[in-house]
């Protein structure tokens, strides 16, 4: 699905050059759930930007779904991003004055789908994240967890080959973070490949594979047991958080 061989990314300015990625090699198979951890400034975000074709690289080779991305033109890279990659950001990155429907619809607009097809896909994506009844709401009318689920729906709407998540639970409280993680695990179990940058070691342990980046290189390579074989302690909601959750997230019919 994703194959990087000796990829380097160097940022230069007038006085210094920084090796954000150094001879970085990684292969992610279809259906994997990979957690990327590492200290701040280690190159996690650079890796995710290069993997997501948001940034270029200086050396090496990168193949996404069998396609070598080196030398591709802007419109070809955009098409690849649109068709094969779904992004989930820490800050959700929803457009505040667009409805939930319009936010999820955004990537489909650049795909040339008919109106009916777009509606079908948006509805399906929102159903997957349990927010079908909120299609006409504005992001500000939803809780943080719900907003992140909308962002996940937007990433899923184009039926991508791979989801790239950059600290998807970084802005959420533990209960909402748990719900988002459960959703990601569910999607992975349904076959979606996911690469997730996280600072949370617990979340990293839950996934099928964990890599750690330090100084632009993979420093340690450990494979954890798959999620279903783990016994995860469910988060015990407090009375207050349950109440808040009830108010904010009525169950969809």
Partner 1 sequence: MLRYNLKLALQSFKRAPSLYFLVLLTLSVGVGLLSANLALVNAMAGDPIPEKSDQLFHVSLNTWPTDRPPAEPLHILRYRDAKKIFESDIPKHSAVFYASGVYARDSKSNSLQRFDSSVRATTSGFFALTNAPFAYGSGFVKNSGMEVVIGSELNNKIFAGKNSVGETLELDGELLTIVGVLKPWSLRPLFYHATEGRAFNLTDDIYAPIETAIDLGWSIHARSSSTDSNNGVKFTRDLNVFYLQAWVELPKEADVALFQNYLNNYSQSLKEVGEHPLDTRNELRDVNAWLLEQDIVDQKILAFTLASVLFLCVCVFNASSLLLSRFHSAKFEVGLRRAIGASNRHMLIQGLTESALLGIIAGFTSILLSWLFLKLSIQFLPDLANLAILEPKLLILGMLLALCTAISSALYPLYRANRYAISAELK
The contact set with partner 1 (CB under 8 A) reads: 45, 49, 52, 54-55, 74-75, 78-79, 81-83, 87, 89-91, 93, 95, 97-98, 106-107, 109-111, 154, 158, 166
Q: How far is the CB of 31 from partner 1 (least distance, A)?
A: 23
Give yes or no for a contact between 187 and 74, defined as CB atoms under 8 angstroms apart: no
Q: How far is the CB of 201 from partner 1 (least distance, A)?
A: 21
Q: How far apart are the first and last CA of the chain?
A: 36
Q: Which is nearer to partner 1, 66 or 112 (CB)?
A: 112
**In the Cβ-directed half-sphere of 238, how many Cα atoms lie within 13 Å?**
5
Q: How far is the CB of 158 from partner 1 (least distance, A)?
A: 7
- 3-state SS assignment for residue 244: helix
Q: Which is nearer to partner 1, 1 or 54 (CB)?
A: 54
Q: How far is the CB of 239 from partner 1 (least distance, A)?
A: 33
Q: Which is nearer to partner 1, 105 or 249 (CB)?
A: 105
CA 237 – CA 39 distance, rounded (Å): 29
* Nearest C-alpha neighbor of 138 from the set 168, 92, 169, 94: 94
CA 193 – CA 72 distance, rounded (Å): 23
CA 70 – CA 45 distance, rounded (Å): 19
Q: Which is nearer to partner 1, 111 or 123 (CB)?
A: 111
Q: How far is the CB of 187 from partner 1 (least distance, A)?
A: 17
Q: Which is nearer to partner 1, 14 or 74 (CB)?
A: 74
CA 203 – CA 200 distance, rounded (Å): 5
């Amino acid at each position: 699905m994703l194959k990087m061989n000796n990829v380097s990314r160097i940022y230069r300015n007038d006085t210094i050059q920084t090796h954000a990625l150094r001879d970085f090699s990684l292969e992610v198979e279809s259906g994997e759930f990979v957690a990327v951890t590492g200290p701040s400034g280690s190159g996690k975000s650079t890796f995710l930007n290069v993997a997501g074709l948001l940034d270029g690289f200086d050396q090496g080779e990168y193949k996404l779904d069998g396609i070598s991305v080196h030398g591709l033109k802007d419109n070809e890279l955009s098409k690849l991003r649109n068709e094969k990659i779904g992004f989930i950001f820490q800050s959700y990155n929803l457009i505040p004055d667009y409805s939930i429907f319009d936010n999820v619809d955004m990537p489909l607009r650049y795909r040339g789908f008919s109106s009916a097809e777009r509606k079908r896909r948006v509805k399906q994506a929102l159903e997957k994240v349990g927010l079908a009844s909120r299609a006409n709401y504005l992001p500000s009318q939803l809780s943080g967890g719900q907003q992140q689920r909308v962002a996940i729906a937007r990433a899923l709407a184009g039926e991508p080959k791979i989801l790239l998540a950059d600290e998807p639970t970084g802005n959420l409280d533990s209960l909402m973070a748990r719900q988002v993680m459960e959703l990601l695990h569910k999607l992975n179990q349904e076959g979606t490949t996911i690469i997730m940058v996280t600072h949370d070691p617990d979340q990293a342990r839950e996934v099928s594979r964990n890599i750690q980046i330090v100084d632009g290189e993979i420093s340690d390579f450990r494979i954890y047991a798959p999620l279903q074989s783990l016994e995860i302690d469910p988060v015990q909601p407090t009375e207050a958080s349950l109440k808040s959750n009830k108010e904010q997230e009525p169950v969809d019919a």
